[in-house]
Amino acid sequence: MNTTPPIHWNLRLARMDDVPALEELILLSVRALQSQHYSPAQMEAALGPVFGVDRQLIADGTYFVVEDAGRIVGCGGWSMRKAVFGGDRARTGADELIDPSSVPARIRAFFVHPDFARRGIGRAILSACESAIIAAKFSNAELVATLAGEPLYAAFAYEVVERYEVPMSGGLKLPVVRMKKRLLP
């Protein structure tokens, strides 16, 4: 007998008043779901500069949340702007727009609550992003994945472009993977 509880979640665009809940979700998601890949020191150094809310995506209407009974349990989005990852705390001024005809859209900032991992929330948000990216006339998408995120994007046929390390405070480094996918022929 299948004992998994039924899924009632709902996907919608994020609003500015979701930010406190998103910040809380990001902490929980990173500390639980990245612990197989990164040390506590790496995760704490990355929270904020690398893993954080980017309000520009919310303002652009390109950031999604998934709610379960009114509680946000997943988030993720895409961007028509230059930044490839990171929260908005260190940014001064607007993030520059990119040209859909020559530059890939960015897939950005996916975080799922650990109690809801592997139940298809990441998949649902990524599908919504790809549809929106195609509607915005981008042919390609790219992203910088954590090692925890890589299997989700690989499952959607994103290809590894390069593996590198993001330099962080205290001389720490975060291994990440740049990935890309052609969305339109």
Ligand X SMILES: CC(C)(COP(=O)(O)OP(=O)(O)OC[C@H]1O[C@@H](n2cnc3c(N)ncnc32)[C@H](O)[C@@H]1OP(=O)(O)O)[C@@H](O)C(=O)NCCC(=O)NCCS
Q: Interface residues with ligand X (CB under 6 A)?
A: 29-30, 33-34, 110-112, 117-123, 145-146, 148-149, 151-152, 155
Give whichever of 58 and 108 is closer to ligand X, judged by the CB atom. Answer: 108
How many Cα atoms sit within 13 Å of 3 on the Cβ side? 0
- For residues 152 and 112, is the Cβ–Cβ distance under 8 A? no
Give whichever of 137 and 151 is closer to ligand X, judged by the CB atom. Answer: 151
Closest approach, Cβ 144 to ligand X, in A, equals 7
Burial class (CB in 10 A: 0-12, 13-18, 19+), 102: exposed
Separation CA 144–CA 164 (nearest Å): 10
Does the CA dihedral 35-38-40-44 come out positive or negative? negative
Give whichever of 80 and 148 is closer to ligand X, judged by the CB atom. Answer: 148
Closest approach, Cβ 141 to ligand X, in A, equals 13
Closest approach, Cβ 101 to ligand X, in A, equals 26
Separation CA 81–CA 11 (nearest Å): 23
Give whichever of 29 and 79 is closer to ligand X, judged by the CB atom. Answer: 29
